[in-house]
């Protein structure tokens, strides 16, 4: 039975939505809400139809020791397996810990979800299991995925495999760093502003943000349904293609997808990749190098730009036509993303992880866990999350949602600008992160900690706004650290990115070596 509103509480609830009630009105509304809640008792008694759970072996493993997990990439070991046969047979897979796997605890890198165990699998996990893959780990991530710094997890920072005094970036920090373990072959992360591509760049692995909607997001903790993306990270293009082939395609539960989703056999595409790049035209995005000229650019910015230019030269040597292009709107995409994501993020928290007004599969048990966690542990959220919630609520209540509306209304402008550029070139190239991995800074001030978590992502936000696919390749190196080079393709042109990367990989391999 739903708890009723009592006595003077009716005034308190009215004031929360900006209403003041007279004594007579308070009595009337108290009676009205009581009658309404009588009806809602029926709703509370309804049984939620549960999707059939895939039959699988599901077991927990101890959290690895420091010697077994030197980069702090793993939150929970597990073994979830449904089949020995399929595209991913024998492949050991790690999932970012905002992705539901039934029977396996899920934390979102936060104390708020302490004790939460999902009842169902996210669609990605289900498809991986159906394809013969074995899920062996839930992977560390920034607190509720709202940081690119790799330092905000309740379980501690994820360190960089090439220098453990530096971070792995984020928010999919664990999925990138864990690929340096022999026990994990393929990982999946999420990307609302660069959170797959940035840690891939800093950790020297491949990371793909697919075309928006190509891979279903159902059963994964959302930041904003207009920005949510899930995609694979891997050490080789072949493995990346296997992962994408297994999970791509329409699923009726996800409102982010449309009926005209164009998936592909990416494994076949990669197997047929040409030996050179003759006939391919690459556009070098001038605005993608703007960070080089910024005042107080972080360490590694100049070296990152130089390393990317060296990759462009190698591409040209392989037969590609290279030409400079300009998309002026790219330069403001980071600010637009911040305006939308802060407000959208706050709204998602207010809705306890479920978005209203969607014809979708709603996640009841997650909403209850998040709500209870917010009541008990909200002060334990990392300052990056708190700052986003404060800003988002301020924008919503002071400007009545107009900033979010303006940011989302601008998205077609950027999409059209990218489409125009891609009508003249096959792919667009730029640095993924605008500087290489920064040092851990446990003694930094609150404001510095928050701000430095966003210094690297000026180039990644645009593809989240426009929806185009973007792939970070570990093609560059500077001062012994990886430098990711990002290629962006046409909508549902994910296969072109993989084919290009495979051709480059076969000719040059990936850096750093060793």
Pairing verdict, β 281-285 and 481-488: unpaired
Contact 182, 456 (CB under 8 A): no
Catalytic residue among 96, 134, 138, 337: 96
Measured distance CA(214)–CA(263) in Å, rounded: 7
The tokens describing 436, both together, are 């290489």
Helix (H) or strand (E) holding 165: strand 163-167
Tell me, letter by letter, the H, E, C secondary structure of 276-309: CCCCCEEEEEHHHHHHHHCCCCCCCHHHHHHHHH
Helix, strand or coil for residue 466?
Answer: helix
The tokens describing 391, both together, are 């800003």
Q: Which of 246, 235, 243 is nearest to 183 (CA)?
A: 235
399: Cβ–Cβ under 8 A, 6 or more apart, which residues?
Answer: none
Helix (H) or strand (E) holding 463: helix 461-466
Measured distance CA(340)–CA(360) in Å, rounded: 22
Q: Is 96 a catalytic residue?
A: yes
Give me the residue label for tokens 């290009």.
500
Task: Give the CA distances from residue 130 to residues 55, 80, 127, 247, 424, in Å, rounded to whole numbers and listed in that order.
Answer: 10, 11, 5, 10, 40
Q: Is 153 a catalytic residue?
A: no
37: Cβ–Cβ under 8 A, 6 or more apart, which residues?
Answer: 2, 4, 5
Contact 2, 40 (CB under 8 A): yes
Catalytic residue among 153, 172, 195, 222: 195
443: Cβ–Cβ under 8 A, 6 or more apart, which residues?
Answer: none
Q: How many CB atoms lie within 10 A of CB 379?
A: 7
Measured distance CA(396)–CA(186) in Å, rounded: 39
5: Cβ–Cβ under 8 A, 6 or more apart, which residues?
Answer: 13, 30, 33, 34, 37
Q: Is the alpha carbon torsion for 310, 316, 320, 324 positive or negative?
A: positive
Contact 91, 186 (CB under 8 A): yes
Residue 136 phi, psi (nearest 5) = -115, -5
Q: How many CB atoms lie within 10 A of CB 97?
A: 29
Q: Is 171 a catalytic residue?
A: yes
Measured distance CA(395)–CA(346) in Å, rounded: 10
Catalytic residue among 110, 120, 169, 171: 171
Task: Give the CA distances from residue 445 to residues 166, 426, 452, 491, 498, in Å, rounded to whole numbers and listed in that order.
Answer: 17, 44, 10, 41, 41
Enumerate the active-site residues.
Answer: 96, 171, 195
């Amino acid at each position: 039975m739903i708890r009723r509103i009592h006595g003077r509480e009716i005034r308190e609830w009215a004031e929360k939505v900006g209403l003041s009630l007279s004594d007579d009105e308070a009595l009337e509304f108290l009676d009205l809400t009581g009658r309404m809640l009588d009806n809602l008792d029926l709703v509370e008694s309804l049984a939620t139809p549960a999707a059939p759970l895939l039959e699988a072996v599901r077991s927990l493993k101890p959290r690895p020791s420091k010697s077994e997990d030197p980069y702090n990439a793993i939150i929970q070991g597990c073994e979830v397996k449904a089949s020995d046969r399929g595209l991913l047979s024998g492949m050991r897979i790690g999932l970012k810990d905002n992705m539901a796997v039934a029977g396996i605890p899920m934390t979102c890198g936060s104390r708020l979800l302490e004790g939460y165990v999902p009842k169902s699998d996210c669609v990605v996990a289900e498809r991986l299991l159906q394809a013969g893959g074995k899920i062996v780990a839930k992977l560390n991530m920034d607190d509720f995925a709202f940081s690119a710094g790799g330092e905000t997890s309740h379980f501690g920072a994820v360190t960089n495999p090439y220098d453990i005094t530096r971070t792995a970036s984020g928010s999919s920090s664990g999925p990138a760093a864990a690929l340096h373990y022999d026990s994990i072959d393929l990982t999946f992360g999420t990307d609302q502003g660069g959170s797959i591509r940035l840690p891939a760049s800093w950790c020297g692995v491949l990371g793909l943000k697919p075309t928006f909607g190509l891979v279903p997001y159902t059963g994964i903790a959302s930041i904003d349904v207009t920005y949510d993306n899930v995609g694979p990270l891997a050490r080789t293009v072949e493995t990346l293609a296997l992962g994408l082939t297994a999970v791509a395609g329409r699923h009726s539960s996800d409102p982010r997808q449309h009926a005209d989703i164009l998936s592909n056999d990416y494994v076949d595409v990669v197997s047929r990749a040409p030996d050179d790049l003759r006939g391919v035209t690459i556009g070098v995005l001038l605005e993608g190098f703007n960070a080089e000229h910024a005042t107080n650019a972080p360490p590694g910015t100049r070296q990152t730009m130089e390393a990317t230019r060296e990759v462009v030269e190698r591409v040209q040597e392989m037969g590609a036509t290279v030409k400079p292009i300009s998309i002026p709107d790219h330069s403001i995409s980071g600010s637009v993303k911040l305006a939308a994501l802060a407000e959208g993020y706050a709204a998602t928290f207010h809705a306890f992880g479920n978005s209203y007004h969607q014809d979708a599969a709603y996640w009841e048990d997650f909403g209850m866990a998040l709500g209870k966690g917010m009541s008990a542990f909200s002060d334990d959220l990392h300052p990056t999350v708190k700052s986003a919630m404060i800003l988002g609520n301020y924008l919503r209540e002071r400007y009545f949602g107009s900033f979010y509306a303006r940011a989302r209304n601008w998205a077609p402008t950027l999409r059209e600008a990218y489409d125009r550029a891609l009508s003249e070139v096959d792919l667009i190239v730029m640095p993924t992160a605008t500087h290489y991995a920064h040092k851990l800074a446990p003694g930094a001030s609150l404001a510095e900690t928050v701000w430095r978590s966003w210094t690297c992502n000026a180039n990644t936000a645009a593809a989240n706004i426009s929806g185009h696919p973007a792939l970070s390749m570990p093609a560059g190196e500077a001062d012994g650290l990886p430098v990711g080079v990002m290629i962006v393709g046409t909508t549902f042109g994910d296969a072109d990115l993989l084919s290009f990367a495979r051709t480059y990989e076969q000719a040059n391999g990936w850096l750093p070596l060793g």
